[in-house]
């Protein structure tokens, strides 16, 4: 078992913690942003437009036979053919639906309903003082068109198409009902021997009125009411408290992630961390990349003190990102009067390069904030088990 494996590893390093926080601080604002974004997504479903649109229109049909009462025709006796109930069935048929919605690309849900007629209760007293009761319609049936869709323009187009179809159905039905009444009047006029002259004249006038009504019947409906409704939550519905909750949750998660990174950080960021790994007796010192003569002198003294036997070569093996330092090599060689070689990473060593040589001492040059603990362990183990002598480690900042 090598010395590095028996050294202390777990300890709190304030310098390493500070370095990790300095490099990974952006995690906290990122998680806060993500938290508020998730709350935004949860509350608004990312909708910038309503999820659906409802358009409702109510139409009242015109009573195109009411004027016939002027010539003594009971308008209640003239019914459209087909009736209003059957007209609604025709309007809701698949044939009309395909005809109306065939030109609209999106799927639209259109509903058409007809309200019942309202009646009033009338009482009258005849000449004999007797009360007579009667019902009369006070309001014609109305039609309610409703559409549910994502596009307001498509809804309006669909309802307009349905209205045109209903107008045509009502016009044809009204004309058919009037024509049936004309046929009845014709049959009565043909029985001239059974009719008085006055009655015959009245029927002729009524026939003329019915024929005129056939010409003017249009099936028109007048718009009574229009209402619009926008359904579904929008972005503006997200409360400030929701955002604050998301930010706080993101802050907590960000702190936990940062703590996890600090605990699991495998990079050597301080001399304390390196000493904890290799032991104090295997730590030769710390120098800067901008080499000062005093730090080189101190390192040379530490090398002499750590080795009592003579040596002729000193091999520096980098751990972490390799940056050649000619000044470090030359000054160490001059001070120690030995040959100093700065080699490549241990990964490029072959068996011949690792052949045991008692005249060569190895020093592991650990790059601060770059070298990882597993790399240091691996380099140490390879050199130590190959029979070579490791003098110690030096931390390069």
Q: For a pLDDT cut of 90, what percent of the chain falls above it?
A: 2
Which residues touch 91 (CB under 8 Å, ≥6 apart)? 112, 162, 165, 166, 169
The per-residue pLDDT for 289 is 62
Backbone angles phi, psi at 364, to 5 degrees: -90, 120
How far is 105 from 318, CA to CA, in rounded Å? 69
Q: Token digits for 358?
A: 């008692």
**Which of the four pLDDT bands, split at 50, 70 and 90, describes residue 357?**
confident
Segment 159-179, tens digit of pLDDT: 888 888 889 988 898 888 888
Domain boundaries of the chain, sorted by first residue: 52-231, 267-396
- pLDDT exceeds cutoff 60 at 46: no
CATH number of 267-396: 3.40.50.300
How many CB atoms within 10 Å of residue 331?
19
Give the angle subtended at the CA of 297 by the CAs of 292 and 299, to the nearest 5°: 95
Alpha helical stretches, state H, the chain: 3-6, 14-24, 27-44, 84-91, 94-101, 152-189, 197-216, 240-264, 271-278, 293-306, 326-336, 373-385
- pLDDT exceeds cutoff 80 at 270: yes
Average confidence (pLDDT) over 13-25? 79
Write down the residue that tokens 């300095």 correspond to: 22
Q: What is the 3-state secondary structure (H, E, C) of 225-273?
A: EEEEEEECCCHHHCCHHHHHHHHHHHHHHHHHHHHHHHHHCCECCCHHH
Q: Which DSSP state fits 280?
A: G
Q: Answer for the pair 54, 231: CB distance below 8 angstroms, yes or no.
A: yes
Which residues touch 257 (CB under 8 Å, ≥6 apart)? 27, 31
Four-residue CA torsion sign, 145, 151, 157, 162: negative
* Mean pLDDT lowest among 13-27, 192-206, 227-241: 227-241
Q: Token digits for 33?
A: 């942003």
Q: Is 87 exposed, middle or buried (CB count within 10 Å of its CB: 0-12, 13-18, 19+)?
A: buried
Question: DSSP letter string over 115-148?
Answer: PPPEEEEEEEE-TTS-EEEEEEEEE---EEEEEE
How far is 159 from 112, CA to CA, in rounded Å? 9
Four-residue CA torsion sign, 357, 358, 360, 362: positive
Bigger pLDDT: 16 vs 181: 181
- pLDDT exceeds cutoff 70 at 75: yes
Average confidence (pLDDT) over 60-79? 80
Q: For a pLDDT cut of 70, what percent of the chain falls above it?
A: 81
How far is 367 from 345, CA to CA, in rounded Å? 12
Q: Answer for the pair 101, 134: CB distance below 8 angstroms, yes or no.
A: no
Q: Answer for the pair 318, 367: CB distance below 8 angstroms, yes or no.
A: yes
Backbone angles phi, psi at 202, to 5 degrees: -65, -40
Segment 122-142, tens digit of pLDDT: 666 666 666 666 655 554 678
Q: Find out whether the peptide bond into 342 is cis, omega within 30 degrees of 0.
A: no
- pLDDT exceeds cutoff 50 at 193: yes
Which residues touch 251 (CB under 8 Å, ≥6 apart)? 28, 31, 32, 35
Average confidence (pLDDT) over 199-213? 83
How far is 29 from 236, CA to CA, in rounded Å? 24
pTM of the model: 0.45
Q: Token digits for 202?
A: 């009245």
């Amino acid at each position: 078992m090598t010395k590095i494996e028996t050294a202390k590893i777990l300890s709190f390093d304030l310098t390493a913690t500070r370095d990790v926080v300095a490099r990974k601080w952006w995690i906290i604002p990122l998680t806060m942003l993500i938290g508020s974004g998730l709350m935004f997504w949860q509350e608004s479903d990312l909708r910038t437009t309503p999820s659906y649109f409802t358009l409702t229109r109510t139409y009242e049909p015109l009573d195109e036979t009411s004027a016939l009462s002027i010539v003594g025709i009971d308008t209640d006796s003239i019914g459209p053919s087909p009736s209003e109930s059957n007209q609604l069935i025709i309007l809701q048929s698949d044939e009309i639906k395909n005809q109306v919605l065939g030109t609209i690309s999106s799927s639209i849900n259109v509903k058409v309903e007809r309200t019942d007629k309202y009646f009033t209760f009338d009482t009258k007293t005849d000449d004999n003082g007797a009360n007579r009761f009667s019902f009369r319609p006070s309001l014609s049936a109305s039609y309610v068109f409703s559409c549910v869709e994502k596009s307001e323009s498509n809804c309006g187009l669909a309802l307009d198409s349905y209205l045109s179809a209903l107008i045509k159905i009502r016009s044809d039905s009204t004309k058919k009902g009037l024509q049936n009444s004309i046929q009845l009047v014709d049959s009565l006029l043909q029985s001239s021997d059974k009719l008085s002259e006055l009655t015959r004249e009245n029927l002729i006038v009524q026939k003329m009125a019915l024929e005129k009504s056939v010409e003017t019947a249009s099936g028109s409906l007048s718009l009574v009411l229009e209402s619009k409704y926008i359904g579904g939550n929008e972005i503006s519905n997200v409360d400030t408290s929701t955002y604050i909750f998301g930010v706080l949750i993101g802050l907590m998660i960000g702190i936990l992630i940062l703590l996890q990174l600090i605990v699991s950080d495998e990079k050597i960021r301080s001399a304390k961390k390196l000493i904890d790994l290799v032991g104090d007796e295997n730590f030769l010192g710390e120098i800067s990349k901008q080499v000062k003569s005093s730090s080189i002198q101190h390192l040379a003294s530490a090398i002499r003190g750590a080795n009592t036997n003579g040596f002729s070569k000193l091999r520096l093996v980098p751990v972490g990102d390799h940056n050649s330092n000619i000044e470090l090599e030359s000054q160490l060689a001059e001070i120690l009067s030995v040959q100093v070689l700065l080699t490549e990473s241990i990964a490029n060593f072959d068996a011949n390069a690792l052949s045991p040589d008692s005249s060569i001492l190895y020093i592991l040059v650990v790059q601060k904030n770059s070298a990882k603990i597993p790399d240091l362990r691996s380099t140490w183990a390879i050199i130590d088990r190959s029979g070579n002598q490791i003098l110690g480690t030096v931390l390069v900042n």
